[in-house]
């Protein structure tokens, strides 16, 4: 009885080893692993692009507001309102120590 159970365990181990060996050297399994890695990368890129799209939509909505247009005109173009007085200061010189 004990010999039969030992033989059965050996066969089970041998079958498991053969299955693992065939999986690692089978081309389809290798391609499956490569495809799953590629799918992971593509899903990651997709999430990044979705986030970029959301940020761009928010920026587009912000650009449409009058406050943003006024801010851009003041900072980028240096414009001011007619009744405003513009003060310009020269930056302080760096002292050498």
The answer to whether residue 53 is domain-embedded is: yes
More confident residue, 21 or 52: 52
Q: Quote the number of domains for the chain.
A: 1
- DSSP symbols for the chain: -HHHHHHHHHHHHHHHHHHHHHHHH-HHHHHHHHHHHHHHHHHHHHHHHHHHHHHHHHHHHHHTSHHHHHHHHHHHS----TT------PPPPPPP-
The answer to whether residue 49 is domain-embedded is: yes
The answer to whether residue 45 is domain-embedded is: yes
The answer to whether residue 15 is domain-embedded is: no
| Residue 32 exposure: Cα atoms within 13 Å on the Cβ side | 7
The answer to whether residue 97 is domain-embedded is: no
Q: Give residue-wise pLDDT tens across range 24-54.
A: 777 777 788 889 999 999 999 999 999 999 9
Q: Give residue-wise pLDDT tens across range 53-82.
A: 999 999 999 999 998 988 888 888 878 888
Show the domain range for 35. Answer: 27-75
């Amino acid at each position: 009885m004990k010999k039969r159970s030992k033989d059965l365990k050996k066969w089970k181990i041998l079958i498991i080893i053969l299955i693992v060996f065939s999986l690692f050297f089978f081309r389809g399994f290798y391609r499956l692993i490569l495809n799953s890695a590629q799918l992971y990368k593509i899903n990651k890129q997709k999430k990044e692009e979705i986030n970029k799209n959301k940020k761009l939509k928010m920026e587009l909505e912000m650009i449409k507001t009058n406050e943003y247009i006024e801010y851009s005109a003041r900072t980028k173009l240096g414009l001011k309102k007619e009744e405003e007085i513009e003060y310009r200061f020269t930056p302080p010189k760096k002292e050498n120590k």
